[in-house]
Amino acid sequence: MSRFIYTGPNSAVTLKVSDGKGGLKDQDVLFWNKQEVDLPADHEMVSVLIAQGYLKPVQVAPVQIVQSAETKAATDKSGKTK
């Protein structure tokens, strides 16, 4: 699943998606203008909505890991984290 922002008229669709067992299941999706929605990025309907300009991928900021001075000192000494 990927996160998108939808811009368009409020609407709803039912997508046929994989059930993970080789079959298909229904996924009901509500589209609200200027709201984020989780969708399967490889679905044909999603591709069409992107091409029409209704969906845009949400940019996810990379997560930064911050070490405390104490942890950093221990790592520098031993070469390992505690």
What digits encode the pLDDT tens for the residues 7-33? 999 999 999 998 989 999 999 999 999
For residue 57, what pLDDT is reported? 95
Q: Please name the amino acid found at residue 3.
A: R
Total domains present in the chain: 1
Question: What are phi and psi for residue 63, nearest 5 degrees?
Answer: -85, 130
> What rounded mean pLDDT belongs to the chain?
87
Give the domain range for residue 68: 2-78
Q: What sign results for the dihedral spanned by CA atoms 67, 72, 75, 76? A: positive
For residues 44-50, give the mean pLDDT: 95
- Joined tokens for residue 12: 């709803």
Burial call 20-33: b when 16+ CB within 10 Å, e when fewer: eeeeeeebebebee
- In degrees, rounded to 5, the angle at the alpha carbon of residue 72 between the alpha carbons of residues 68 and 74 is 120
